[in-house]
Structures are given as structure tokens and as C-alpha cells.
Amino acid sequence: MYDGAKIIPGLIIFVVLATFAIWYGAGDVKQVPKPEKPVGYTNCVKPTQEMKESHMTLLNQWRDEVIREGKREQVEAGGKMYEKSLQNGCMHCHTSKEKFCDVCHSYASVRPYCWDCHMSAKKIKGLEEAI
């Protein structure tokens, strides 16, 4: 009634394929990225752990407030005022996109769309030299 000669090998193949992603990279531990810290700055607009976990939410919120609602007031954190801006706020302290942003985004295989419109300081400097 049951054809065990076909069912058992079929189940084994299914289990192997279903768990392939788990056992394929089992011994391949990658080094956790260490982005370059900003020189001369100790505080950010939010605590470090919160920025690691949800900086994109903050950037989207700032984008909506500045571009869509026209709210351009600065943000106060740790006694300092910060501009709600990727280039004039975040990149003021974190000066290298390659050494700060790209380190973690490459590790997480994430391609943020920020750089579709914004330019890194390196590209801006190249444009200034070309003019």
C-alpha cells in the first residue's frame, strides 16, 4: 500500500533542502563590523544602541518632517544642537560614508536608498575640484 522505497528518500531530500541554509554556513562566523567613530564627538542625537537598531526610522522621520511638513527646527541632544539632515547633521560627525555607513551596510547586505539622492563628501569634493 505505501511505497517506502520512494517516500523515505524523498523525505530525506526534502529535509536536506529545507535545512540547507542552516548547515551550509554553520562554521563560517563573520567578524562583526567596527565602523570608524567620529573624531572629537562623544554623543549622538540618540543613544548608540538605539542608533544601531533604528537609525533609518529616525532618518525617515526627519525626512518627513523637513521635506513634507516644512519643520526645519534643530534637534537638541547632550547640550548640542543638530540639524535634521543626513549631509549637514549626520555626515558632519561621521565624515566618511565608506568607513562608517558602508561597513555595516555591506555586512548586513543592505543597500539604503539615501545615496540615490544624497552625495557623500568624497563625491562632493570631486565635483568641486572638477569645477
Task: Tell me what pLDDT residue 126 has.
Answer: 59
For the chain, which residues make up each domain, given as ranges?
32-120
> Would you say residue 130 has pLDDT above 60?
no
pLDDT tier at 41, thresholds 50, 70, 90: confident
Q: What is the pLDDT of residue 121?
A: 62
Cα–Cα–Cα angle for 62, 99, 78, rounded to 5 degrees:
45
DSSP structure class, residue 98: I
Alpha-carbon gap, residue 74 to 3, rounded angstroms: 72
- pLDDT bin (cut points 50, 70, 90) of residue 13 is very high
pLDDT at 57: 94
Give the pLDDT score at 58.
92
CA separation for the pair 25, 97 (Å, rounded): 29
Confidence of residue 16 (pLDDT cuts 50, 70, 90): very high
Give residue-wise pLDDT tens across range 66-117: 999 999 889 888 788 889 888 888 888 888 888 999 999 998 889 988 888 8
108-117 pLDDT, tens digit each: 889 988 888 8
Among candidate residues 56, 54, 53, 120, the one with its CA nearest the CA of residue 91: 120
Q: Which of 67, 125, 128 is nearest to 91 (CA)?
A: 125
Burial of 121 by CB count in 10 Å (0-12 exposed, 13-18 middle, 19+ buried)? middle
CB-count burial class (<10 Å; 0-12, 13-18, 19+) for 101: buried
Nearest one of 119, 116, 114, 110 to 63, comparing CA atoms: 114
In residues, how long is the chain?
131
Mean pLDDT (whole number) for 21-39: 81
Mean local confidence (pLDDT), 49-57: 92
